[in-house]
Amino acid sequence: MTKASAGAFRIAELAREVAKAKDVLYVGRGTAYPLAMEAALKLKELSYIHAEGYAAGELKHGPIALVDRTLPVIVVAPKDSCFEKTTSNMQEIAARGGRIILVTDTAGASEIGIDTLATLVMPDMHPIVAPIVYAVPMQLLAYYVALLTGKDVDQPRNLAKSVTVE
């Protein structure tokens, strides 16, 4: 297990692991759930790797069937009111051999007790603003994966602005 502050962690190295994957699963609860969906979208848009964002509590409704030793599962889990339930979901992922990349804060990192491929430790902050700050390493991960796979991050294929000027 690798633990490092997100500022010091070499996200480009972690991107090498993610870039090998055919599929990537992002999970989160509460305010982390929309971030999981957005992070999956960014990875798809930039690297063309299939990625999905799910509410951690919905794992048993399909996504858990995909978890094996080849699947990176990025868990967004600040130490908030949802943390214990997310930890339970991480145990289910670990039991199936999923390669967990945890994004949490110092309290979450010290309490997790689950073996991870990597743990990105974010600064401590109020849970309501955590998704804004946690978005940065998620975006950087998508960026580095795209670079490693030779994709043009400035002009992703098949994307158009959702708002156009008439």
In total, the chain counts a number of residues equal to 166
Quote the crossing angle between the two packed helices 32-47 and 130-148, to the nearest 10°. Answer: 20
DSSP string, 59-70: GGGTGGGG-STT
Q: Determine whether 79 is an active site residue.
A: no
Q: Which of 3, 42, 60, 161 is catalytic?
A: 161
Reported in sequence order, the residue ranges of the chain that DSSP labels E, i.e. its strands, are 3-5, 23-28, 50-55, 72-76, 99-105, 118-122
By the 8 A CB rule, do 53 and 3 touch?
no
Token reading at 163: 């708002």
3-state secondary structure of 43: helix
Report d(CA 107, CA 140) in Å as an integer: 23
Tell me the backbone φ, ψ of residue 5, rounded to 5 degrees.
-65, 145
Q: Which residues are catalytic?
A: 161
